[in-house]
């Protein structure tokens, strides 16, 4: 099974919705909160081509993008 990572914050409604959808789709994920850790934010910036928006998703360590891209991956059966 693929490993999903979500970079999020505690005040992001799209992050919360994304986590609910991943659970509904039965996709296990690791959440990394960039609002709680400066090193997590630096890690996200490195892995996402300096994207500062959340949520951001990595699938097996490869950046796929934000919520729209996550939805596309799901619709294409790539999750």
Distance CA 35, CA 33 (A): 5
What is the total count of domains within the chain?
1
Q: Looking at residue 8, which CATH number applies to its domain? A: 3.40.30.10
Tell me the pTM. 0.92
Average pLDDT over residues 2-6: 91
58 CB burial (10 A radius; 0-12, 13-18, 19+): buried
What residues form DSSP beta bridges with 63?
58
pLDDT digits (tens, 9 = 90+) for 20-43: 999 999 999 999 999 999 999 999
pLDDT for residue 77 is more than 80: yes
CA–CA gap between residue 22 and residue 6 (Å, rounded)? 10
d(CA 70, CA 65): 7
Give me the domain span that covers residue 12.
4-75
Query: What is the DSSP code (8-state) at residue 63?
Result: E
């Amino acid at each position: 099974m693929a490993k999903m990572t979500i970079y999020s914050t505690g005040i992001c409604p799209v992050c919360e919705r994304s986590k609910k959808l991943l659970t509904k789709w039965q996709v296990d994920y690791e959440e990394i909160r960039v609002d709680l850790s400066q090193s997590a934010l630096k890690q996200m910036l490195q892995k996402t081509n300096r994207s500062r928006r959340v949520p951001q998703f990595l699938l097996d360590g490869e950046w796929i993008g934000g919520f729209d891209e996550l939805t596309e991956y799901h619709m294409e059966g790539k999750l």
